[in-house]
Structure 1
């Protein structure tokens, strides 16, 4: 017994010492994070805007990045980027902006908002320079707002016009003997086309041609304005493929000259009053965010809720709009008397129709309760994303926002022949009712089951149209005429009455403030930033997993991986979603 107590006391002491050590380590980490030196902008600063980085609707803050000189762990949100550019406009320490415009990882709607912010910055007389070794069309669409835009002498400027290419899997499924049993409402509802066609249908070709034409027209118009050219000439350059080499871009006045990186920076140094090249105070967005207070402060509160990614049933994650998570966020804002208005910023191609209905319900209740609800569309806000937004007091979109797609579909693959003939696997079972195994993917649907699923899709489509008609104060027949799953550009959506105004998140917030009759306000932003404890406990390890997968697969491989994930989500769930992989080049 005596030896037992010795061992027990020794173990208890060891446990206590371990807890004490862990406690001091934790305190040390917290102290290190909170007592770091104050970051300052410095004199004659030049804000660096790297378009090659994607600025998501929901930013990422990594407190552990303070332990290293690298800032890659922090990713400012798109709205943070816009607010920083706006703050820099009146910040006497910032003399100009340097745009890295070789590539652009941001969508067309986000790019338009960034470009608008830069155009506003220019009104102060501060300079904007843009540079890229090879400048893509996406990079050029934003970079051409600069006072001077340069390209590497051995690089190039892409000016070929826009194109969309879709992949079709029908032939592959036939070879694998997989039957995609598809049910949809809306002749333009093309999300299922890759499974049932080998090429675009005429309806899909029409809608994409019109939408792409709108986007291209906007590029021509803005380029013509900044480069003092006319749109017909610019269109001719693309048609005749005039811009083949970097020098051609200078000859045809798309850029201001050919320079190497050091030459551009020497010119910036001269602008700053003879500063040496290696002494230019370039400041990244990540550093600038820590150096200045660019967020609005005031007495009243407006809730801004960011929603990005596929719409799914359940909780979702940072890159998915989970119906439970966002229903609760909307409800929290609705019931909080200190919040005077709700602004929803959405960037999504849709997803589960039921999830959209549940979120639509909460926003509708907020509006009925007298709280203004304003929605801001990002790069895309279509199908299920439009569904949950359609009853807002006001909807804002960018000219290049992809929206509409009022339509519904569902699908259930029949894998019976694939398992039988390719793998030698057979299935059998028992059931307690004739339709108990209706959603099993290892047998074909009966005619009665097909009828049931089509009726279900048609019923949900009718509800979708009714929701839009009610919110937009239109007849259901009119909504059907512009619906049918058809996607529209933001500018067309305005003409059709699907949105109320063209503008960005700032415009939506200002509108919400006017509706709430407040002027002295601050923003309460949701979802809240990940905290340190969550990161230490690994609550957000999925973010790291996603990054690892993307690093391994690359951009194209990641797109394929995400496509397969979406296909899995579609099976047996009625969807309000746009074509799931539509990359504009």
Structure 2
């Protein structure tokens, strides 16, 4: 026995020592990463080219953590820029006498069409300085081409692939999967166009969903064609005919239709850039990547004591704190309240990029926007999506701005309650028994079907919430409730339609919204602050490491099956009444 305790104590001591060593090693690693990531970037010299390759997901807001500059697994520099940083960098590059031009190297851009539109507009402004923009690609999606189309010259690798084929939207339906798993999706909704629940109930699109999706795609495609035609000195009719017949399926055809300027290898592009810079063929090109340029100290135009607060509301709306990629009601409402109570904040820009979520969380945020708008100008700036709950939280703003291709509207409500009894009992072998004090004490447990009485209660709740939604929009947008109802019903709209229907006030992206806030506040000098506050770098590092490792392990084990697990996860996470977008559209 004595030997046993000695062995146990030795093991405990060894374990404790290991934990201590690992702890200090982790602290040392983080300190080293912080030191490396915060190293000053060397200033750029004359005749420098700004190199832009947008191959990482673009969120509205970049991270202020120096650890964001590092890949958590390889520990190599890998900075993920936010749209705010990209726009700011292009703006300063226009004025920077050391920057002579921009070299775009594009293939696929993991961002929504409104985000790409904002970057495209920033490049158009950059070109007004007389500086060049040249693009090169080995393979280019249509969204990447849309961005590249503003370039002075567009070149493609001779062996690359180029397709100009129009837009399509594909929706995944889960009803067949749920039937195989014996899961019953119990749905109550208001709005014929509120198709967020369709994947759980159908195996194909309803005519209403097909109609609204087709109209949205048509608006986006027409807008893209008009801008491409203007930039490339051609006409929309010939471009659309070419897409309709899949005529442009080769690089030669792309040249014939003025979509690209020629076929060149990368070294030939660099030689052309040297000529534009006026340097010798054997000289090196001074270049700086967008990620490094964003870290350079720039002459700030922001000064003075007065402030414009830019508040980011991104992702699914939910109760609690959330994070940088979700709109937690506690965190976002606290940020709005802070900006409202700060007397030096003269106006607020509420940047919304959300397809909605929990209705109570949405109302918590909307109320703070309403209170803020009573105290100072509040501009709601819509990104790729500002629909359903995303519109709910914004409708009380002083003004609403959006891109012509923003997906908005979806003023509708639903509730979904999965019955997992068939899956758990018949498929897995789990059974349930219970004792209760009252008849409906087991409402809602997820292990039985709803009774007629329970469905009636939920229907009344959904109808009441929908009526509230209509009233909030009518009051916020100064419209009649009947007029709001006529364009609601869960229907999605493009920014183009939303403007004509009165759901938004004007077109414009994040930069335009900030400028509008400055005008309404009548400021000559100001500085911009961004809210909510981002997490402590060390806390964010540990969280990112843990989440990334877990997600990587799941994807490694399940492979392509991962995408089929998401619907079940989403189904079980939906609690109470929801105001969510039916789907997300990615334009490739």
Same fold per superposition (TM over 0.5): yes
What is the CA-CA distance between 1:140 and the residue it aligns to?
0.4
Tell me how many residue pairs correspond in the alignment.
Answer: 568
Deviations 1:198-220 (A, max 9, x none): 11001000000000000000111
> CA 1:254/1:25 → structure 2, altered by over 3 Å: closer, same or farther?
closer
**1:12-161 maps to which residues of 2 (within 5 A)?**
29=32, 32=35, 36-64=39-67, 72-161=77-166
2:310 matched to 1:304?
yes
Match of 1:362 among 349, 368, 390: 368
* Structure 2 Cα separation of the partners of residues 23 and 255 of structure 1: 50
Secondary structure of the corresponding residue to residue 353 of structure 2:
strand
Q: Distance in 2 between matches of 1:243 and 1:273?
A: 35
Deviation at 1:351, TM superposition (A): 0.6
Measured after TM superposition, the shift of residue 52 of structure 1 is: 2.2
Of residues 526, 548, 553, the one that matches 2:552 is 548
- Rounded to whole Å, the distance in 2 between the matches of 1:133 and 1:554 is 31
Cα deviation, 1:200-241, whole Å, max 9, x if unaligned, reads: 001000000000000000111011111111111001101111
> Which residues of 2 match residues 453-464 of structure 1 at below 5 A?
453-464=458-469
Give the TM-score taking structure 2 as reference length: 0.90
Q: Distance in 2 between matches of 1:135 and 1:39?
A: 32
TM, length-normalised to structure 1: 0.91
Q: For each residue in 1:228-271, what CA deviation from the matched residue of structure 2 results, as whole angstroms up to 9, or x when unmatched? A: 11111001101111111122211222100011111111111211
Question: Does 2:341 correspond to 1:338?
Answer: no
Q: What residue in structure 2 maps to residue 11 of structure 1? A: none
User: CA contact under 8 A between 1:51 and 1:139: conserved in structure 2?
Assistant: no
**For the residues of structure 2 that align with 1:553 and 1:260, how far apart are their CA atoms?**
39
State whether structure 2 residue 277 is matched by structure 1 residue 272: yes
Which residue matches 1:444?
Answer: 449
Shift of 1:470: 0.3
Query: 1:516-527 to 2 correspondence within 5 Å?
Result: 516-527=521-532
Alignment of 1:413-432 (within 5 A): 413-432=418-437
RMSD of aligned alpha carbons: 2.9
Distance in 2 between residues matched to 1:297 and 1:403, nearest whole Å: 32
Once the 2 structures are TM-superposed, how far is the Cα of residue 113 of structure 1 from its aligned partner?
A: 0.3
Partner Cα distance (1:558, 1:288) in 2: 37
Find the aligned partners of 2:157 and 2:135 in 1 and give their Cα distance: 11
Distance 1:128 1:348, change over 3 A: same
Q: What displacement does 1:278 show?
A: 7.2
Following TM superposition, by how much is the alpha carbon of 1:276 offset from its aligned partner in structure 2, in angstroms? 4.3
The SS at the match of 1:241 is coil
Alpha-carbon spacing, 1:371–1:441, altered in 2? closer, same or farther (3 Å): same
Question: Unpaired segments of 5 or more residues in structure 1?
Answer: 1-13
Provide the residue aligned with 1:323 in structure 2: 329
Q: Does 1:187 align with 2:192?
A: yes
Secondary structure (helix, strand or coil) at the match of 2:308 reads strand
Cα 1:290–1:339 change in 2 (3 A) is same
Contact 2:405–2:496 under 8 Å retained in 1: yes
Equivalent of residue 217 in structure 2, options 189, 212, 219:
212
Contact 2:37 2:70 in 1 (8 A): no
In the TM superposition, what is the alpha-carbon distance from 1:72 to its structure 2 partner?
4.1
Report if aligned partners of 2:356, 2:386 keep a CA contact under 8 Å in 1: yes
Work out the CA distance in 1 between the residues paired with 2:80 and 2:215: 34
* Equivalent of residue 388 in structure 1, options 380, 388, 393: 393
Q: Which of residues 544, 560, 566 is equivalent to 2:570?
A: 566
Show CA shifts across 1:6-38 (max 9, x none).
Answer: xxxxxxxx9xx99xx999969975994598345
